[in-house]
């Protein structure tokens, strides 16, 4: 069995393990369409729990590099962008030479594709997915990887999927798909497992998160936040919000101007 596309977590591995025969092998692959789908491979050890499942090592005829913002190779355990060369690299976006130029680079006369994915390599030479480069945000002067919060929330078995976004300049909001959890449980879980500065200020619980045609969470269609209400219901879904008690909304124009500063 081969998995791909979404980040593989231990909860899903345990579910797969319970549904397949004991001799079945599960491999975690990685690769976007621009690389002809798969360019890495990792055979999962079903006899042990793994909180962080690697995407593995390069498939034959691919070359993987982990580079910093200056296109220099990073060290073991350091975070960098995954850049891939080899037989499966696409020729470019049809009619969009501008986009092609943004993602293709030439290294030693070989074409490489800049995936936009942040990864790091462990001491065993296995590559671990960290998150999207464009999903990194800066909050109160500190750089935050939103995928770290998502992975923490997905540990909870009652959550099927979730997404975290930055709201205004100082707050994070977690949209969670679940029909069996409340805000206090979410907050307590995050407080027990995350640094205080990356705990979302607000949690939005939905029966179903909006999906794009390719079955990924459509961030543009997430319900807007209504900060005047703690509980909000709609005909399509039930939505519960809670604002961090450390944050009070501006009450007048002067307070709003001060808050914006």
Average pLDDT over residues 217-229: 78
Domain 136-228 fold: GMP Synthetase; Chain A, domain 3 (3.30.300)
Predicted pLDDT of residue 103:
96
pLDDT band at residue 233 using 50, 70 and 90 as cut-offs: very low
* 35 Cβ contact partners less than 8 Å away, ≥ 6 residues apart: 62, 84, 86, 88, 89, 90, 113, 115
Record the pTM: 0.65
Tokens of 174: 């977690």
pLDDT band at residue 225 using 50, 70 and 90 as cut-offs: confident
Predicted pLDDT of residue 184:
92
Tokens of 105: 């680079």
Predicted pLDDT of residue 171:
85
pLDDT tens-digit map of 120-133: 999 999 999 988 88
SS3 11: helix
CATH of 2-132, one of 1.25.40.10, 2.30.38.10, 3.40.50.2000, 3.65.10.10: 2.30.38.10
CB atoms within 10 A of CB 12: 15
Predicted pLDDT of residue 231:
34
Average pLDDT over residues 210-214: 87
Q: Where in the chain is the domain with CATH 3.30.300.30?
A: 136-228
Tokens of 45: 């050890």
Distance between CA atoms of residues 196 and 241, nearest Å: 19
By the 8 A CB rule, do 248 and 242 touch? no
Predicted pLDDT of residue 114:
96
Q: Where in the chain is the domain with CATH 2.30.38.10?
A: 2-132
SS3 188: helix
């Amino acid at each position: 069995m081969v998995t791909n596309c979404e980040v593989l977590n231990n909860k899903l591995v345990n579910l797969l393990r319970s549904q397949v025969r004991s001799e079945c092998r599960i491999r975690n692959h990685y690769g976007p369409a621009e690389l002809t789908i798969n360019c890495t491979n990792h055979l999962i050890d079903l006899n042990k729990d793994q909180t962080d499942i690697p995407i593995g090592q390069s498939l034959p005829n691919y070359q993987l590099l982990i580079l910093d913002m200056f296109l220099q190779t990073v060290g073991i355990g350091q975070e960098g962008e995954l850049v891939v060369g080899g037989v499966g690299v696409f020729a470019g976006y049809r009619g969009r030479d501008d986009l092609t130029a943004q993602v293709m680079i030439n290294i030693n006369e070989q074409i490489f594709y800049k995936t936009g994915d942040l990864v790091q390599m462990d001491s065993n030479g296995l590559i671990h997915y960290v998150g999207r480069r464009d999903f990194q945000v800066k909050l109160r002067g500190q750089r935050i990887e939103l995928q770290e919060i998502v992975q923490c929330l997905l540990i909870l078995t009652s959550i099927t999927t979730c997404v975290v976004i930055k709201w205004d300049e100082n707050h994070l909001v977690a949209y969670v798909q679940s029909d069996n959890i409340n805000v206090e449980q979410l907050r307590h879980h995050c407080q027990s497992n995350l640094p205080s500065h990356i705990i979302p200020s607000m949690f939005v619980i939905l029966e179903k998160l909006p999906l794009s045609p390719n079955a990924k969470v459509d961030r543009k269609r997430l319900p807007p936040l209504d900060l005047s209400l703690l509980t909000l219901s709609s005909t399509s879904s039930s939505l519960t919000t809670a604002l961090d008690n450390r944050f009070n909304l501006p009450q007048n124009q002067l307070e709003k101007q001060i808050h914006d500063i």
